[in-house]
């Protein structure tokens, strides 16, 4: 049966650490590894002993990474008409092609005259919508 060996990069990805940190662990003797040529390889058993868990190292394809933002905007001293106007502009912004799957919900509290906007989406689309909300709130 072949022994599973992982690269320093694979272990770093699995543990969420920098490659240099893993190399330092190996050099300090905290993590057992074998040197093959100029590269270190860590066995599955040694990684499990180091982490105290079972090791399932998966190569992470960072090109497939998806980053999203979640934001809550609180605007106080807003009357119902202003809240409706801001909500209409937000709805319009969500229907543009640049919205890129952006989602937003508006909630207005009549008693406290507070508008809350919950925004979920990609970083660029969220940033654009937050700029729009800022402009509308300042009017």
Cα–Cα distance between 38 and 93 in angstroms, integer?
54
Average pLDDT over residues 130-136: 96
DSSP-derived pairing of the beta strands 39-43 and 103-109: unpaired
Label residues 19-35 b or e (16+ Cβ within 10 Å = b): eeebbebbeeeebebee
Nearest CA to 98 out of 122, 117, 119 is that of 122
Token reading at 91: 């709805």
139 has a pLDDT exceeding 90: no
22-50, pLDDT tens digit by residue? 999 999 999 999 998 889 999 989 998 88
């Amino acid at each position: 049966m072949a022994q599973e060996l992982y690269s320093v990069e694979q272990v770093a990805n699995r543990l969420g650490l920098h490659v240099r940190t893993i190399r330092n662990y190996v050099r300090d003797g905290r993590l057992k590894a074998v040197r093959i040529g100029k590269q270190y390889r860590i066995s599955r058993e040694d990684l499990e002993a180091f982490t105290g868990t079972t090791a399932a190292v998966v190569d992470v394809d960072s090109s497939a990474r998806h980053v999203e933002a979640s934001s809550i905007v609180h605007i106080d001293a807003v009357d119902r008409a202003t809240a409706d106007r801001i909500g209409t502009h937000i709805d319009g912004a969500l229907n543009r092609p640049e919205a890129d799957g952006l989602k937003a919900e508006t909630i207005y509290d009549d008693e406290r005259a507070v508008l809350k906007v919950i925004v979920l989406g990609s970083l660029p689309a969220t940033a654009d919508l937050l700029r729009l909300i800022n402009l509308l709130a300042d009017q």
